[in-house]
């Protein structure tokens, strides 16, 4: 059997795909499902051979902004049938809880990746026109003239296949090899918090099935009720707290959550599997397009998980890409037109959010304007509603600020006068 150092000669199967997608997780599968349904031929290359593989480090709170995309994919119903929790958000701040009126607050979705990832992958594999290649890793990019034109994929036996496609899609996560190989411009922003979390069974936290987040400023904690009557407890303190978490992650997590104000019942709960942690979460923002190539999900934008946006944006960016490039792949316009449309849409939707997320990811405390808005949102239901729409990424900062700032000034002035 050839070793990976001496690969066997490339086998080209002679077929050309409309798109070659690298990565069969949320973003890659969502893209394949939509392209396949549009009658386009797609190869999906995934390095994990196991169809039930899943991303292990993730709190999987999918923001309300992504729910319409999940519905259009036909995934929301099976997710609910598999026990997904439909959660709103309650945010603790030192000024009180921020809680939008329940009838006005949108609900996100929470389902363990252990259940979600295989479900999305099976749906993609069963979609007409989609060829799922599990156990194949994209190793090199192919070029046709100046444009990217697919990948060379290698399996564990060292066999190599050339997969040619008019569009190459990097859906291979925050350390994207496709992004690296294509040399698209990348900007990095420091991240100064650590993330530890684990599944517990026991009494439900107070707001269940809603999620509770504690903005301890600068530390952060959360309780996410999820399927199987489990709660995922998460701690994201700044890096000074790393030694205690490294020494005994389980004990540190329980201590941390039990110490937050109005603490959830973590001490009365039982950890069901080992606590997981992630220390390096440098934010990466890449140009999401090049000639013949697009990046989606974390490959395009990998941000601080504190705000729980990556899964939702994986589904949403897949949809933006397919809507942008399908006309070109169906032969109705040049591909660069579709790619440029996607680049602009990605920037329009996510750049403003990314700016604020990256700024807070340094581990700093809230600045005066954040204190103004958070305190007002804790005091006033309308301000809470605007904050909730922003936090669940249904509105962009450019839409949130002109609505929330004037209201926050008025609310806090009234509050000061009343005192």
Ligand X SMILES: Cc1cc2nc3c(=O)[nH]c(=O)nc-3n(C[C@H](O)[C@H](O)[C@H](O)COP(=O)(O)OP(=O)(O)OC[C@H]3O[C@@H](n4cnc5c(N)ncnc54)[C@H](O)[C@@H]3O)c2cc1C
Judged by the rule CB under 6 A, the positions of this chain that interact with ligand X are 22-28, 45-48, 55, 57-62, 137-138, 171-173, 177, 195, 278, 281, 297-299, 305, 308-312, 314
Least spacing, CB of residue 408 vs ligand X, in Å: 27
User: Could you give the strand order of the β-sheet that contains 108-110, starting from the edge strand earlier in sequence?
Assistant: 61-62, 108-110, 85-87
> Minimum Å distance from CB 375 to ligand X?
25
CB atoms within 10 A of CB 325: 29
Q: Which is nearer to ligand X, 100 or 299 (CB)?
A: 299
- CA–CA separation, 267 vs 130, rounded Å? 47
For the CB of residue 210, give the shortest distance to ligand X in the complex, in Å: 14
Looking only at the bridges linking them, the beta strands covering 130-134 and 136-144 are unpaired
Smallest gap from residue 48 Cβ to ligand X (A):
5
> Do residues 163 and 150 lie in contact, with contact meaning Cβ atoms separated by under 8 Å?
yes
Residue 48 or 168 having the CB closest to ligand X = 48
Q: Give one word for 96, left, alpha or beta, with left for phi > 0 and alpha for psi -120 to 50.
A: left
DSSP state of 260: S
Measured from the CB atom, is 78 or 308 closer to ligand X?
308
Q: How far is the CB of 402 from ligand X (least distance, A)?
A: 27
Rounded-to-integer distance, Cα 93 and Cα 117, Å: 33
CA distance 140 to 154: 9
Q: Using CB atoms, what's the residue nearest to ligand X?
A: 310
Q: How far is the CB of 222 from ligand X (least distance, A)?
A: 8
Residue closer to ligand X (CB basis): 308 or 391: 308
Q: Which is nearer to ligand X, 64 or 195 (CB)?
A: 195
In sequence order, which residues have a C-beta less than 8 Å from that of residue 416 and are 6 or more positions away? Answer: none
Nearer to ligand X, 205 or 305 (CB): 305
């Amino acid at each position: 059997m050839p070793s990976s150092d001496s690969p066997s000669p490339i086998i080209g199967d002679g077929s050309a795909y409309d798109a070659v997608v690298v990565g069969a997780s949320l973003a890659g599968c969502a893209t394949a499902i939509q392209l396949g349904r549009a009658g386009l031929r797609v190869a999906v290359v995934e390095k994990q051979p196991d169809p039930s593989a899943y991303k292990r480090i993730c709190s999987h709170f999918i923001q309300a902004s992504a729910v319409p995309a999940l519905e259009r994919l036909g995934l929301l119903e099976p997710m609910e049938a598999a026990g997904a929790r439909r959660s709103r958000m309650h945010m603790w701040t030192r000024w009180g809880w921020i809680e939008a009126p329940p009838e006005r607050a949108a609900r996100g979705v929470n389902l363990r990746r252990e259940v979600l990832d295989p479900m999305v992958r099976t749906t993609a594999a069963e979609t007409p026109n989609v060829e799922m290649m599990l156990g194949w890793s994209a190793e090199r990019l192919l070029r046709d003239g100046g444009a990217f034109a697919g990948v060379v994929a290698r399996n564990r036996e060292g066999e190599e296949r050339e997969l040619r496609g008019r569009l190459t899609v990097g859906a291979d996560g925050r350390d994207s090899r496709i992004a690296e190989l294509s040399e698209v411009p990348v900007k990095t922003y420091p991240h100064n918090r650590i993330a530890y979390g684990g599944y517990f069974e026991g009494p439900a936290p107070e707001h269940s099935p809603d999620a509770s987040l504690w903005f301890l400023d600068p530390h952060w904690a959360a309780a996410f009720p999820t399927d199987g009557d489990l709660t995922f407890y998460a701690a994201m303190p700044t890096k000074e707290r790393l030694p205690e978490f490294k020494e005994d992650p389980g004990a540190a997590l329980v201590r941390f959550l039990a110490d937050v104000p109005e603490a959830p019942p973590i001490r009365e709960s039982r950890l069901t599997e080992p606590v997981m942690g992630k220390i390096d979460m440098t934010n990466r923002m890449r140009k999401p397009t090049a000639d013949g190539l697009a990046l989606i999900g974390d490959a395009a934008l990998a941000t601080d998980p504190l705000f729980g946006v990556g899964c939702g944006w994986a589904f949403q960016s897949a949809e933006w890409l397919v809507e942008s490039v399908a006309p070109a792949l169906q032969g109705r316009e040049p591909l660069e037109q579709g790619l440029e449309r996607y680049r602009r849409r990605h920037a329009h939707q996510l750049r403003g959010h990314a700016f604020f997320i990256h700024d807070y990811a340094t581990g700093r405390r809230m600045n005066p304007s954040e204190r103004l808005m958070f305190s007002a949102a804790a005091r006033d239901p309308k301000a809470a509603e605007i904050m909730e729409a922003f936090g669940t990424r249904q509105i962009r900062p450019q839409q949130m600020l002109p609505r929330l700032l004037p209201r926050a000034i008025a609310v806090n002035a009234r509050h000061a006068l009343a005192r």
